[in-house]
Amino acid sequence: MEIKTSTGLCGEVDIPGDKSISHRSVMFGALAKGTTEITHFLQGADCLSTISCFREMGIEIENTADKILVHGKGLHGLSAPRRTLNVGNSGTTTRLISGILAGQGFESLLSGDDSLNSRPMNRIIRPLKEMGAEIESIDGSGCAPLRIRPGVLHSIDYTSTVASAQVKSAILLAGLYASGTTSVTEPVLSRNHTELMLNSFGADVAAVIHKDGSATASVRPCEELFAQKIKVPGDISSAAYFIAAGLIVPHSELLIKNVGINPTRAGLLDVVKAMGADITYLNVNSDSGEPTADLLVRSSSLKAVTVEGAAIPTLIDEIPMIAVLAAFADGTTVIRDAAELKVKETDRIKTTTEALLNMGADVTPTEDGMIIRGGNPIHGGQIDSFLDHRIAMAFAVAGLAADGLTTIKDSQCVDVSYPGFFETLQRLQGKANEN
C-alpha cells in the first residue's frame, strides 16, 4: 500500500466493533442457553476465527449483514471438534478458548498461524494445569499447537505476574467449570470486559482493586448462562489511528463516532490530552452497557509525555501509534513498563522502533519500552508490517504526516482488526480536498 503526504483529513468515521468484546460475545453466547444477538460485531479475521472454532464445536452461528445470531447450547453443550481448531492470528481466541476447553469432556487441538504459534502459552498452561486441566504444548515449546484433554477442575487463587486480560479470562472461564470460587490477582487491572460481560450473562463475578493497585477478579462455578442482546461499541484501539491522524496531519478535523471509552481501555485518551491534543467528547453514554463517546479531533501541536505503570495495560495495543505521535511531538517521550509489547503479534518494541528509524525518527529501544526524541523531520519509508495489523495502521498514519512516499508491505494484514481501514483513510482525504 502506498501512502502519500496528506494535506488534511476531514469528515466522520464510524469505528468498527470492539475486537475484545466481539470475541467474548460469541464465546459467552455459545455457552449460554438461547440465542444471543450481536450487533456492530467486528467482522475482522480474528473474530471470524472465534466464530469458526465454535461452529466446529457444533454451535450454529448466523452471520448476516446486520447482526450475528449465536444459538447457544449451554455450558455443557459444545461437541468434540472433528478437526484441529484453527485460531488464525488470534491470541484472544487461543487463550480464552483454552480456558473453556479445559472444562469440556472431550479432547481438542488448537493451532494458528506462524505468529500465533510462537506466542507464549505457558502463561495460561500453568494456571490451568494448577486447576487440574490436562493441557499441553504439543512440541513442548510452551507455544501452540496445544492439546487439551478432559480434566476435573478445582478452584485456585492465582497470582499472575503480568496484567493480561487474556490470562485472567482463561482462568475465569475455566472457573465456571471448577468446584469452589476461583480468583485471579494481577499486578494492575487489565481490561475488564470478561468480568462485566460474564455478569450480564448471569455468572457471578466479583472484582476488587486493592490499595497497592493490584486487582482481583473471582468467579463462582456456574450452572447456567443466559443469552443476551449485545451492541458492541466501536473499538478504541481502531479509533486510535484516526485520533492520531487527526492530530498530526495539518488542517484536519475528524468526528470519530461511537468509540468505547471503558477506563480499562482508554489510556490513549489521557496520553493525547497530556500531549496537548485538541479533542472534545460528545454524546457520552452507556447505552451498550459500556461507556461510549464521539470524539472530535483537530490538528494539534503535541508535546512529549512519559507513559508508564498502571496506564500501560489501558493502552498496550495503542503503543505503536503513541510512539508515532511522540516522533511528531516536541521533547523526549519515554515509554516504560511495557515489556508485554515483545509478545504481541510481533515484538512491537522491535518492529515499532525499526519502522520509526526507517522514517528518520530519533528513537532508542529499551528492555521495556522505548525513548523517542521528537522533532526530527519524518520522511516516507518502506515499512515492513511483518504481518502485524497494528504496525501497518500506525505507520500508514505516520506516512500521511511524513514528507514523501511511504509504502507498507503486507498491508492486507489490517483485516485482522480493521477491514476497510485504507478505504476509510482515503475517503477522509477526499473530503478534505473538497472543502
Dihedral pair phi/psi, residue 273, rounded to 5°: -60, -50
CA 237, CA 182: separation in Å to the nearest integer? 30
Do residues 150 and 124 touch, judged by C-beta distance below 8 A?
no
Does 47 contact ligand S3P by CB under 6 A?
A: no
19 is in an annotated binding site: yes
113 contacts: CB under 8 Å, gap ≥ 6: 88, 89
Residue window 183-212: x/- pattern of binding to ligand S3P, with contact defined by CB under 6 A: -------xx---------------------
State the nearest-atom distance from the C-beta of 309 to ligand S3P, in Å. 15
286, amino acid identity: S
397 with 245: CB under 8 angstroms? yes
Work out how close the CB of 152 gets to ligand S3P at its nearest, in angstroms, rounded to a whole number: 26
Q: Which of 280, 230, 228 is nearest to 259 (CA)?
A: 280
Site residues for ligand S3P, window 310-329 (CB under 6 A)?
A: 316-317
Round to whole Å and give the CA distance between 104 and 115: 27
**What Cα–Cα distance (Å) separates residue 30 from each residue in 76, 176, 201?**
10, 14, 11
Residues 154-173: x where in contact with ligand S3P by CB under 6 A, - otherwise, as a string: ----------xxx--x----
Is 348 assigned to a binding site?
Answer: yes
Distance between CA atoms of 315 and 417, rounded to whole angstroms? 16
Is 344 a known ligand-binding residue?
Answer: yes
Question: Is 6 annotated for ligand binding?
Answer: no
Give the dihedral of Cα atoms 259, 261, 267, 272; nearest 10 deg: 50
CB-side neighbour CA atoms (13 Å) of 290: 29
Closest approach of Cβ 19 to ligand S3P, in Å? 7
Q: How far is the CB of 262 from ligand S3P (least distance, A)?
A: 12
Least distance from ligand S3P to the Cβ atom of residue 347, Å: 14
In the stretch 266-295, what mask flags binding to ligand S3P with x, by CB under 6 A?
------------------------------
Query: Of 121 and 248, which CB lies nearer to ligand S3P in the complex structure?
Result: 121
Is 317 known as a binding-site position?
yes
Q: Is 235 among the residues known to form the active site?
A: no
Least distance from C-beta 167 to ligand S3P, angstroms?
6
Minimum separation from the CB atom of position 191 to ligand S3P (A): 6
The number of residues that bind ligand S3P (CB under 6 A) is 11
91 annotated to bind ligand: yes
**Residue among 18, 46, 235, 317 flagged as catalytic:** 317
> Closer to ligand S3P at the Cβ: 86 or 164?
164
Query: Per-residue string for binding with ligand S3P, 331-350, x by CB under 6 A?
Result: ---------x----------
Contact with ligand S3P (CB under 6 A): which of 92, 228, 288, 385? 92
Nearer to ligand S3P, 254 or 319 (CB): 319
Cell representation of residue 103: 472444562
Identify which of residues 236 and 254 has a Cβ nearer to ligand S3P in the complex.
236
Q: Which of 9, 10, 11, 20 binds ligand S3P (CB under 6 A)?
A: 20
430: left (phi over 0), alpha (psi -120 to 50) or beta: alpha
Tell whether residue 111 is among the known ligand binding residues. Answer: no
Give catalytic residues, as residue numbers. 317
Binding residues for phosphoenolpyruvate: 19, 91, 119, 166, 348, 390
Residues forming the site for ligand S3P (CB under 6 A): 20, 92, 164-166, 169, 190-191, 316-317, 340
Binding residues for 3-phosphoshikimate: 19-20, 24, 164, 166, 317, 344
Binding residues: 19-20, 24, 91, 119, 164, 166, 317, 344, 348, 390
